[in-house]
Structure 1
Amino acid sequence: MSASTCHLTAIDRQPKPITAPWAIAETARLGGQFLKWLFCDAGIVRRQTTFLLAARGWLSNPEGIVAQLDPSRIADPAVALADLLRSGRPGEVIAAAYGSKPAGLIQALNRLGPDALADPAKYEMFFGLFADRRHRPKVRAAQYLGRLTAEKLDVLFSLDPALLSVKMLKRDLTLEQVSRLNKALTAIRAASDPADEDALVAAALAGDENRTIEQFVSAWVRRCRLAPLPFDGDPEAGVYPITTAADLMTESVRFKNCARSLGRVVDAVAGRNGYVVHEDQGRPVAMTALVRFEDGQWAIENVYGPSNDRVPSEIQAPIRRWFAERGVGTLRRQRLQPEWAATLELVGFRTWRGFGDDDPELLED
Structure 2
Amino acid sequence: MPAPSVNLPDDSSIQRILIIKWSALGDLVMASALFEDIRRAFPQAELHLNTLPVNQKLFAADTRFARIIALDARAKSGKLFAMLRWLHAIRAGRYDMVIDLQTSDRSRFLLGALQLTGRGIRHRVGNHGFWPYTTGPDDLPRSVNPVLRMHAALNLAGIPTPTRHPVLVVPTHNRERVKHLLAQYGIAEGNYALLFPGCHPRGYLKRWGEQNYAELGRLLLQEGLVKHVVIAGGPDEIQLGDAIARRIGVAAVNMCGATEMLDIIPLAEHARYIIGNDTGTSHLAACSERPQVVICGPTDPTRVKPLGDQVIAIQADLPCSNCYRKHCSHHSCMREVHPEQVLALLTQPPQQTIVHVAARILEALPDV
TM-score after normalising by structure 1: 0.17
The structure where strand makes up a greater share of residues is: 2
Q: Which has the higher contact order (CA 8 A, sep 6+)?
A: 2
Larger radius of gyration between Structure 1 and Structure 2: 1
TM-score after normalising by structure 2: 0.17
